[in-house]
Amino acid sequence: MLKLGQSLKNMKQNFLVVHLRSREFADAVEKGDDVSTWTEEKEESICGKAISKDVAGISSKSKMIGDTEDKDPLRESESFDSRQQFLNYCQGNHFQFDQLRRAKHTTMMILYHLHNPAVPKILQHCGACYREITHGIRYHCRNCSNFDLCQDCYNPVITGAWAQRDPRFAHDKTHTFQPIDMEEKGNSKLSNEERARNLNEHLKLLVHATTCKIIGKNRCKVHSCHSMKQLIHHLKTCTVAHKNTCTVCTRVLSLLSMHAKQCNVRGRCSVLFCDRIRERNKRLLQPQQLMDDRRREAQNQLHRAYGQNETLGI
């Protein structure tokens, strides 16, 4: 514990310390027992040591505690599937955590994109005035990898009027630009939300059709259940050697992949190919996890060396 304390001493500002209640209290809440009589003295007798009110967070008065079930719905976002995708997301939006004010702004923007998945995650910046292009016409250079101009800066830059005063605004006159209407892109928000809603309905229908036992003439009362069963049957009996060449198989496999990505069933899942797809995704994530482990180990070694040098007075 002394060695662990020395290792954590130099990193103590990076940790959040949370004082939890006893395991017996959590079990009582999960069972639905009345915990209104749980007081500070009872926690002390269970833990076998004195607990201050500030640490235990328990009032001597009776207090009703709710259940521990998380009622917030799960939110899926491709930007947080892996460390590399989150890094690309932060780099594209210039999000940083090196200062407190930057960390607050980054956290606020991340929460905004989580609650508004239809909003574009990366906004283009004007190459002349460096402002975000959110409305009007955006002019994208066909020759440069990442260069855009807003509607106000387009004419002065391509004509060279601003380049005569400042060489920063000079751009190759042989390059061509593609105008993109940002208003039309903004109007697609409703269609994106509708598409996400339809996708969720299809995923629910897939799970239902897999577990539905009604066959024959007595069709299920759920709309489109019989059609989904026919698609699954086609996937099982399709004679095409490569499934990606069959349009129907491609669509069903895409839907199965989306289900496997969100599936949180422990053990075997009843949906077709779900277990195999989850196992494949796990194998694909292993190189990234090994890279993260090596990075953490290198960071820990650096902190250990710094702590030893500080102990020795070097």
Contact 106, 96 (CB under 8 A): yes
- The pLDDT assigned to 102 comes to 92
- The pLDDT assigned to 167 comes to 81
In this prediction the pTM is: 0.45
| Pick from 281, 254, 249: nearest CA to 199 | 254
Full pLDDT tens readout for the chain, 314 residues: 888 877 777 777 777 777 677 778 878 877 877 776 666 556 655 555 444 444 444 444 444 555 667 777 777 777 777 777 888 888 878 899 999 999 999 999 888 888 877 676 667 778 888 787 777 888 888 887 678 888 888 888 888 888 888 787 888 888 888 888 876 654 555 455 677 777 788 888 888 888 887 776 567 777 778 888 888 888 888 877 666 678 888 888 888 888 888 888 878 888 888 888 888 888 887 887 888 888 888 888 887 777 666 666 65
Query: 266: which 2 tokens?
Result: 């422990």
| Pick from 146, 139, 137, 127: nearest CA to 176 | 139
Adjacency order of strands within the sheet including 177-181:
148-149, 137-141, 177-181
Domain residue ranges of the chain, discontinuous segments joined by +: 18-64, 80-115, 137-189, 224-261
- The pLDDT assigned to 59 comes to 42
